[in-house]
């Protein structure tokens, strides 16, 4: 999942940059006198948390207010309230925009067309997944030419908004949405809803977007992305930063909250299958990992060092598992893991939990030789499997072994 | 899609060109591909024009600066029909565009191996390929293998494609490159080989979607079954099933869908495109889709006997819940649809551990968790014997070492040797201590070792001005060179027979002692039976000598026994060795290697291999001292055998180069210009005048 932003960043930066009509707003902390003045101008406002959660997630925290005392209290309360397990960055209040029509629009890359596509619906304002497919219109876009007003207008007509002044105005707004999507390297961008009055006023009233971090335009946005408080632990945070620091070799992890097995896995497919097998067999893996992609020694050693530092002390079993590698040099990766393991034991003392290894690929036996010697030096029990044992069988075995070790009252630990 | 058949993607005779071919991964993979099938005709990489990618035993691959230059330089019958893109992510679009715009109608398929290409670029690549009329696979594909034609593009099959891929009738199409191999190796246990192995890549945009590949596989005559590895994300499977639903007799499909576990928790999987993005794109959604198409429930191993009947009825295939169930499911499918096996099934899938050491844990575990070691298959068994069960020496792991070092570092403030501050070493250590740290990667265990090493360096300083290494320094000084050149001349004048003999001795000692239980070379009580070792060694030496003499060829002498100067007595000694031995005696130190050498010199005469007791020379003493230091590290696999073998030569060279400096200083101060020249009157011509 790429970097995400919500409505507040859109209001603060993108709306004005791409000339997309959007409501006025204030952001907590804000002076009472400012709130009072704004509400006097607007009539009423809507208080929202700045949090990366969908409409359903935010439900209950989004409130309409017209009294400034109430608004000030609400801004503080909403800013502090956890929403769908996430702590908001802050809270903000937007002007209430009256609407006779609410339109949904999303621009995203579409696996059916292998191209960007525009989806519109005149049943906006609600969670779009709850809208009937027949009420949504999706049209593919030429990635080179982008979206033009004619195309946008046609899509709106198909969605039930007849040609006319309103249609034209909204179509131009959709073109601006495309401009923003394209210029900033977004992967998906949703405005839900565009609030439209019969008089022809159009306003983008909620927004979310995901950037494609591989897009060169994302690297030079011209503004700093907001930093949302995350619930990820120190391990995942450190690994995410380490993974982002280089493209040489994968260093992907996702915390699973497990307690038994510390899995160092190689290959996107293999890691998925192994974690699935561990989970099915009760192996309770601590995290999902993919350390394939032929990492150089230093990269692999630091990756292993971070994993061991955060997780090894609590693990009942260390699992090092991957399929038959095409590119990854097993001798390099195993030498790096072995050295990291040696250093961990040097710093923390012996930790004789079992180590289960399964691997194939270039330099396999040399890698096994290094790892075997290190585990013997460290007094760690081990079982090694070559490429003639299926990884799923190794994973099932590791799960059973870990459970048994944990059952023996931490005997293995 | 332009290709009308799977062979349109890749067949024998296709010519492959590789972008960014001089990169780390591209050059390695291209080399292996060239050895496997020889289909790489060229590569291009900006600024690398004129270079070659060397391929041992095969035609090397020429490198051009640009694609257009490549086509201009190559004859038309060598123009590539396929290109593989290994360019960095930000260069992928430009490189593919350049290639397709200058294509001259040659290239039919583009394989983009590069990872982390932006979705916008992949969309542009798709349009570009459509416009130019070529097929494109990727991004992040691992490539394709056509097993019957024995050709591949990309890295499918790793460094030994023959091991994983046997000719057969299953077409493997996988979202994961690694799983192409893994699935192919599993299928061997069902007696199924592979027709084509195809890695689709698993970015958000899969540029050749499953529906297109499935259509080709359905038409392929060599393919009788299609095996899919599928991950969440995208509508590719839904489209594919929609496309084949109407077929009268579609080929059976065996499918494994991964990633359902991630649905209940908010985690991202390894592949960029494995992200649920709408109804039916989740793993559970895709499972339901396939189950519905097949008309049979997921394969149940415990009910496997019932499967063939159901499969015969519906004839469309089956899904498995565990990857290793592919084997019994494929067997059931073949039985139901009367598909012939490609070969006798290899041994069934099972846990086959290569090394097991569970220690005390083994006693408390249930028996099924303490597996027996299984026979290791070839070619691994040979390698295991060489690398793992070999008693001594670290197995080196290799990597590009440009700009990196285990031996030294400098953080801008403190230079370090193997992580230890040079400043600290200067305060507390000695030169000998520090050199040994630099050479061995860790400090010596015993303080006497540095003292003995110091003596070795001193012993290596000189053996008089007549030695050829001293002559080297003197010749250089005589010619008017500076000190560094004179020291190089000293080093240039030593070699395997002057100074380097110690390395041969080290190898001899390692070969003699490697199969003993020797751990501590300073423990006399724990020394192996040296007389027995000497006897075995001398007998083998005599046998080699006899055979060499019979064949009329020179025989390899025992290194470091004898000396051109100290050889006039019945029992001879090298005085420098005696000093080292005497100091060890005074300190009550024992060195098993030196003891062996003394016994060897006597044993050689006693066994009539020589006519006198040759001197254990200073090179031997030096070797024995260094082997004493290195042996525990060899046993502990902390250093390589090669490093231990190099140590005596390095020690000699270090001592002797200092000695050479002394000769240089003396000669420069006192010699006359060109005084080392041999007068013409003393030179003789051994040939016959021709004019």
What pLDDT score does B572 carry? 84
Reduced to 3 states, what is the DSSP secondary structure of residue B429? Answer: coil
Distance of residue B270 Cα from the nearest chain A Cα, in angstroms: 4
Cβ A389–B118 below 8 Å, yes or no? no
CA-CA distance, B71 to B99, in Å (whole number)? 10
Cβ A369–B388 below 8 Å, yes or no? yes
Query: What are the domain boundaries of chain A?
Result: 1-22+98-230, 24-96, 234-407
| Helix, strand, coil abundance in chain A, percent, nearest 5 | 40, 25, 35
CA-CA distance, B623 to B561, in Å (whole number)? 12
pLDDT in tens, A180-216: 999 999 999 999 999 998 778 899 999 999 999 999 9
Q: Tokens 């349109």 label which residue? A: B8
CA-CA distance, A255 to A271, in Å (whole number)? 13
Distance of residue A135 Cα from the nearest chain B Cα, in angstroms: 16
Chain A residue numbers with beta carbons less than 8 Å from the beta carbon of B386 are 365
Average pLDDT (B354-380) is: 92
CA-angle at A279, arms to A274 and A281, nearest 5°: 95
CA-CA distance, B99 to B67, in Å (whole number)? 6
Cβ B202–A324 below 8 Å, yes or no? no
Query: C-alpha B189: how far from its chain's center?
Result: 28
Average pLDDT (A293-297) is: 83
Reported ipTM: 0.88
Interface of A with B in 151-190 (CB under 8 A): 182, 185, 187
Q: What DSSP assignment string belongs to B611-635? A: SSB--B-HHHHHHHHHHHHHHHHHH
Chain A residue numbers with beta carbons less than 8 Å from the beta carbon of B127 are 115, 142-144
CA-CA distance, B233 to B203, in Å (whole number)? 9
Cβ A362–B158 below 8 Å, yes or no? yes
**Which candidate from A115, A182, A279 shows the least CB-CB separation from B126?**
A115
**Confidence grade of residue A267 (pLDDT, cut at 50, 70, 90):** confident
Cβ atoms of B174 and B199 within 8 Å: the answer is yes
Distance of residue B206 Cα from the nearest chain A Cα, in angstroms: 7
Interface of B with A in 43-82 (CB under 8 A): none
Distance of residue A259 Cα from the nearest chain B Cα, in angstroms: 16
CA-CA distance, B174 to B255, in Å (whole number)? 10
Q: Pick the more confident residue, B3 or A59.
A: B3
Residue of B nearest to A248 (CA): B115
Among left, alpha and beta (phi > 0; psi -120 to 50; other), residue A23 is beta
The reply to whether omega before A227 is within 30° of 0 (cis) is: no
**Domains B1-142 and B166-350 belong to one CATH topology:** yes
B351 touches chain A (CB under 8 A): yes
Query: C-alpha B151: how far from its chain's center?
Result: 23
What pLDDT score does B30 carry? 95
Query: What are the domain boundaries of chain B?
Result: 1-142, 166-350, 468-670
Average pLDDT (B278-283) is: 79
**Any idea which of B162-176, B278-292, B405-419, B522-536 has the lowest mean pLDDT?**
B278-292
Say how many residues make up chain A: 413
Cβ neighbours of residue B570 under 8 Å, at least 6 residues apart?
A: B612, B613
Residue of A nearest to B258 (CA): A273
Q: pTM for the full model?
A: 0.75
**Which candidate from A143, A363, A367 shows the least CB-CB separation from B123?**
A143
Chain A residue numbers with beta carbons less than 8 Å from the beta carbon of B374 are 388
Among left, alpha and beta (phi > 0; psi -120 to 50; other), residue B151 is beta
**Which candidate from A129, A212, A392 shows the least CB-CB separation from B322?**
A392
| Cβ atoms < 10 Å from Cβ of B398 | 12
Domain A24-96, CATH: 3.30.1490.20
**Confidence grade of residue B125 (pLDDT, cut at 50, 70, 90):** very high
Q: Pick the more confident residue, B454 or A413.
A: B454
Element (H, E) at A102: strand A101-110
Q: What ranges in A294-357 are assigned the alpha helix state H?
A: 297-311, 330-348
Domain spanning B166-350: which CATH class is it, in words? alpha beta
Chain A residue numbers with beta carbons less than 8 Å from the beta carbon of B33 are none
Cβ neighbours of residue B415 under 8 Å, at least 6 residues apart?
A: B408, B409, B421, B422, B423
CA-CA distance, A122 to B16, in Å (whole number)? 51
Cβ A327–B351 below 8 Å, yes or no? no
What pLDDT score does B398 carry? 67
Q: What DSSP assignment string belongs to A14-57? A: IHHHTT-----EEESS--HHHHHHHHHHHS-EEEEE--S--HHH
Q: What is the 3-state secondary structure (H, E, C) of B528-586?
A: CCHHHHHHHHHHHHHHHHHHHHHHCCCCCCCCCECCCCCCCCCECCCHHHHHHHHHHHH
Cβ atoms of A128 and A103 within 8 Å: the answer is no
pLDDT in tens, B215-225: 999 999 999 99
The reply to whether omega before B580 is within 30° of 0 (cis) is: no
Cβ B181–A270 below 8 Å, yes or no? no
Cβ neighbours of residue A400 under 8 Å, at least 6 residues apart?
A: A281, B368, B369
Chain A residue numbers with beta carbons less than 8 Å from the beta carbon of B387 are 365-366, 368-369
Q: Tokens 């908004």 label which residue? A: A161
The encoded tokens of residue B386 equal 């060489």
Residue of B nearest to A130 (CA): B279
What pLDDT score does B274 carry? 58
- Complete edge-to-edge strand list for the sheet that includes strand B353-357: A261-266, A317-324, A355-360, A382-385, B353-357
A370 touches chain B (CB under 8 A): yes
Cβ atoms of B241 and B293 within 8 Å: the answer is yes
pLDDT in tens, A387-410: 989 999 999 999 999 999 988 755
Q: Which of B491, B541, B497 lies closest to B657 in space, CA to CA? A: B491
A44 touches chain B (CB under 8 A): no
Cβ B126–A215 below 8 Å, yes or no? no
B119 touches chain A (CB under 8 A): yes
Phi first, then psi, for residue B203 (nearest 5°) are -85, 175
Give the CATH architecture of domain A234-407: 3-Layer(aba) Sandwich (3.40)
What pLDDT score does A130 carry? 78
B194 touches chain A (CB under 8 A): no
**Which candidate from B119, B179, B209 shows the least CB-CB separation from A212?**
B119
Cβ B157–A276 below 8 Å, yes or no? no
Chain B residue numbers with beta carbons less than 8 Å from the beta carbon of A383 are 353, 355-358, 371
Mean pLDDT of chain B: 91
| Cβ atoms < 10 Å from Cβ of A413 | 15
Among left, alpha and beta (phi > 0; psi -120 to 50; other), residue B74 is beta
B275 touches chain A (CB under 8 A): yes
pLDDT in tens, A39-92: 999 999 999 999 887 656 666 778 899 999 999 999 999 999 888 778 899 999
B1 touches chain A (CB under 8 A): no
The encoded tokens of residue A205 equal 């009233």
Cβ atoms of A401 and A356 within 8 Å: the answer is yes
Q: Which of A139, A298, A385, A103 lies closest to B409 in space, CA to CA? A: A298
Residue of A nearest to B278 (CA): A129
What Å distances lie between residue B325 and A27, A226, B83, B299, CA to CA? 57, 47, 36, 8
CA-CA distance, A13 to B57, in Å (whole number)? 60
Element (H, E) at A276: helix A268-280
pLDDT at A412 over 50: no
CA-CA distance, B604 to B591, in Å (whole number)? 20
**Which candidate from B29, B259, B355 shows the least CB-CB separation from A384?**
B355
Asked if the A1-22+98-230 domain carries CATH number 3.40.190.150, the reply is no
Interface of A with B in 107-146 (CB under 8 A): 108-109, 111-112, 114-116, 129, 142-144
CA-CA distance, B325 to B304, in Å (whole number)? 10
Percentage with pLDDT > 70 across chain B: 97
CA-CA distance, A344 to A222, in Å (whole number)? 42
**Which candidate from A270, A366, A390 shows the least CB-CB separation from B178?**
A270
pLDDT in tens, A355-390: 999 999 888 999 999 899 899 889 999 999 999 899
Distance of residue A170 Cα from the nearest chain B Cα, in angstroms: 25
**Confidence grade of residue A413 (pLDDT, cut at 50, 70, 90):** very low
Percentage with pLDDT > 70 across chain A: 97
Q: Pick the more confident residue, B553 or B342.
A: B342
Partners of residue B495 on adjacent β-strands: B498, B499
Looking at CATH, the fold of the domain delimited by B1-142 is given as Rossmann fold (3.40.50)
Interface of B with A in 162-181 (CB under 8 A): 164, 174-179, 181
Q: Are strands A287-290 and B61-64 parallel, antiparallel or unpaired?
A: unpaired
What pLDDT score does B523 carry? 94
Which of A127, A216, A378, A388 should we substitute to test contact with B (largest number of B Cβ atoms within 10 Å)?
A388
Average pLDDT (A298-318) is: 94
Cβ neighbours of residue B664 under 8 Å, at least 6 residues apart?
A: B473, B474, B476, B477, B483, B486, B487, B490
What Å distances lie between residue B421 and B430, B433, B435, CA to CA? 14, 13, 14
| Cβ atoms < 10 Å from Cβ of B362 | 13
Chain B residue numbers with beta carbons less than 8 Å from the beta carbon of A352 are 359
Cβ B142–A326 below 8 Å, yes or no? yes
What Å distances lie between residue B497 and A278, A342, B61, CA to CA? 60, 41, 40
What pLDDT score does B304 carry? 83
| Size of the A and B interface in Cβ pairs below 8 Å | 295
Distance of residue B410 Cα from the nearest chain A Cα, in angstroms: 16
CA-CA distance, A323 to B178, in Å (whole number)? 6
Cβ atoms of B514 and B392 within 8 Å: the answer is yes
pLDDT at B581 over 50: yes
Distance of residue B154 Cα from the nearest chain A Cα, in angstroms: 9
Interface of B with A in 617-636 (CB under 8 A): 636
Chain A residue numbers with beta carbons less than 8 Å from the beta carbon of B269 are 254, 268, 271-272, 288
CA-CA distance, B463 to B465, in Å (whole number)? 7
Interface of B with A in 464-523 (CB under 8 A): none
Element (H, E) at B135: strand B135-137
Cβ atoms of B106 and B83 within 8 Å: the answer is no
């Amino acid at each position: 999942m790429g970097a995400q932003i919500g409505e507040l960043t859109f209001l603060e930066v993108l709306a004005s940059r791409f000339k997309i009509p959007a409501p006025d707003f204030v952001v907590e902390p804000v002076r009472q006198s400012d709130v009072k003045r704004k509400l006097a101008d607007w009539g009423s406002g809507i208080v929202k948390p700045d949090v990366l959660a969908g409409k359903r997630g935010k439900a209950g925290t989004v409130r309409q207010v017209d009294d400034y005392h109430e608004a000030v209290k609400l801004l503080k309360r909403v800013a502090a309230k956890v929403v769908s397990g996430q702590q908001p960055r802050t809270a903000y209040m937007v002007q209430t925009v009256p609407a006779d029509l609410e339109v949904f629009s999303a621009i995203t890359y579409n696996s059916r067309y292998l191209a960007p596509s525009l989806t519109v619906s005149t049943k906006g304002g609600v969670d779009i997944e709850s809208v009937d497919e027949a009420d949504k219109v999706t049209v593919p876009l030429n990635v080179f030419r982008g979206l033009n007003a004619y195309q946008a207008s046609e899509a709106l007509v198909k969605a039930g908004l007849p040609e006319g002044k309103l249609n034209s105005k909204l179509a131009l707004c959709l073109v601006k949405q495309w401009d923003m999507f394209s210029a900033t390297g977004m992967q998906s961008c949703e405005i839900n809803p565009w609030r439209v009055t019969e008089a022809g006023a159009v306003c983008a009233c909620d927004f979310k977007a995901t950037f494609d971090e591989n897009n060169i335009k994302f690297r030079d946005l011209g503004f700093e992305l907001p930093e949302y408080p995350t619930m990820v632990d120190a391990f995942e945070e450190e690994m995410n930063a380490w993974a982002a620091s280089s493209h040489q070799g994968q260093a992907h992890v996702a915390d699973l909250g497990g307690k038994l097995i510390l899995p160092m896995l190689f290959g996107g497919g293999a890691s998925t299958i192994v974690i699935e097998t561990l989970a099915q067999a009760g192996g309770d893996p601590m995290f999902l990992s993919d350390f394939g992609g032929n990492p150089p020694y230093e990269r692999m050693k630091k990756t292993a060092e971070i994993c061991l530092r955060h997780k090894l002390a609590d693990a009942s079993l260390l699992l090092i598992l991957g399929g038959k590698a095409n590119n990854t040099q097993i001798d390099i990766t195993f030498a790096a893991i072995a050295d990291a393991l040696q250093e961990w034991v040097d710093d923390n003392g012996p930790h004789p939990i079992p180590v289960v290894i399964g691997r194939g690929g270039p330099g396999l036996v040399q890698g096994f030789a290094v790892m075997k010697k290190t585990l013997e030096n460290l007094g760690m029990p081990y079982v090694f499997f070559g490429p003639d044992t299926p990884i799923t069988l190794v994973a099932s075995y590791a799960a059973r072994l870990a459970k048994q070790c944990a059952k023996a009252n931490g005997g293995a630990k | 899609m332009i290709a009308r058949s799977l062979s349109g993607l890749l067949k024998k005779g296709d010519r492959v060109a590789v972008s960014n071919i001089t990169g780390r991964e591209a050059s390695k993979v291209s080399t292996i591909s060239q050895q496997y099938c020889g289909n790489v005709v060229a590569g291009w990489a900006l600024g690398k024009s004129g270079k070659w990618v060397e391929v041992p035993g095969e035609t090397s691959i020429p490198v051009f600066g640009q694609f257009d230059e490549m086509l201009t330089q190559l004859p038309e019958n060598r123009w590539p029909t396929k290109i593989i893109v290994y360019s960095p992510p930000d260069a992928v679009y430009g490189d593919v565009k350049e290639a397709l715009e200058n294509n001259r109608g040659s290239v039919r398929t583009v394989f983009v191996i590069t990872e982390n290409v932006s979705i916008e670029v992949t969309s542009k690549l798709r349009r570009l390929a459509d416009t130019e009329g070529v097929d494109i696979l990727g991004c992040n594909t691992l490539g394709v293998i056509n097993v019957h034609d024995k050709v591949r593009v990309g890295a499918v099959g790793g460094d030994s494609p023959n091991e994983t891929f046997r000719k057969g009738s299953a077409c493997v199409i996988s979202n994961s490159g690694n799983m192409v191999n893994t699935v192919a190796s599993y299928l061997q246990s069902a007696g199924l080989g592979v027709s084509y192995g195809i890695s689709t890549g698993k970015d958000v945009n899969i540029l050749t979607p499953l529906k297109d590949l499935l259509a080709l596989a359905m038409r392929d005559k060599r393919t009788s079954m299609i095996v899919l590895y599928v991950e969440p994300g995208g509508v590719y499977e839904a489209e594919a099933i929609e496309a084949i639903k109407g077929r009268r007799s579609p080929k059976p499909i065996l499918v494994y869908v991964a990633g359902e576990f991630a649905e209940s928790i908010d985690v991202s999987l390894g592949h960029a495109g494995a992200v649920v993005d709408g109804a039916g794109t989740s793993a559970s959604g895709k499972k339901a889709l396939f189950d519905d198409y097949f008309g049979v429930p997921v394969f149940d191993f415990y009910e496997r006997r019932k499967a063939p009947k159901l499969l015969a009825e519906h004839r469309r295939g089956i899904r498995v819940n565990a990857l290793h169930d592919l084997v019994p499911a494929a067997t059931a499918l073949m039985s139901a649809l009367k598909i012939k096996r490609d070969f006798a099934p290899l041994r069934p899938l099972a846990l086959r551990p290569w090394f097991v050491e569970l220690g005390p844990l083994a006693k408390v575990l249930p028996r099924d968790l303490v597996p027996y070691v299984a026979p290791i298959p070839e070619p691994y068994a040979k390698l295991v014997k060489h690398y793992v069960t070999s008693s001594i020496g670290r197995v080196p792991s290799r990597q590009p070492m440009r700009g990196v070092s285990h031996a030294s570092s400098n953080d801008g403030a403190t230079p370090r040797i193997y992580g230890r501050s040079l400043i600290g070493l200067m305060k507390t250590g000695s030169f000998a201590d520090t050199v040994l740290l630099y050479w061995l990667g860790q400090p010596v265990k015993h303080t006497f070792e540095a003292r003995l090493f110091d003596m070795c360096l001193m012993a290596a300083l000189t053996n008089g001005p007549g030695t050829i290494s001293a002559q080297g320094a003197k010749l250089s000084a005589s010619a008017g060179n500076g000190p560094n050149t004179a020291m190089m001349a000293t080093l240039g004048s030593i070699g395997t027979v002057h100074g380097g003999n110690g390395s041969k001795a080290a190898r001899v000692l390692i070969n003699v002692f490697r199969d003993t239980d020797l751990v501590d070379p300073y423990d006399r009580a724990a020394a192996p039976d040296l007389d027995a070792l000497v006897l075995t060694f001398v007998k083998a030496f005599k046998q080699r000598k006899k055979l060499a003499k019979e064949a009329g060829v020179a025989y390899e002498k025992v290194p470091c026994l004898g000396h051109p100067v100290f050889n006039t007595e019945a029992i001879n000694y090298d005085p420098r060795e005696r000093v080292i031995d005497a100091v060890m005696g005074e300190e009550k130190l024992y060195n098993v290697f030196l003891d062996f050498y003394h016994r060897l010199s006597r044993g050689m005469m006693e066994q009539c291999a020589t006519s006198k007791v040759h001197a254990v020379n200073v090179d031997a003493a030096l070797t024995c001292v260094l082997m004493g230091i290195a042996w525990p590290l060899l046993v502990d696999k902390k250093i390589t055998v090669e490093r231990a073998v190099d140590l005596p030569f390095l020690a000699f060279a270090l001592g002797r180069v200092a000695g050479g400096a002394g000769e240089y200083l003396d000669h420069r101060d006192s010699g006359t210009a060109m005084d080392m020249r041999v007068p013409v009157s003393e030179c003789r011509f051994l040939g016959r005048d021709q004019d």
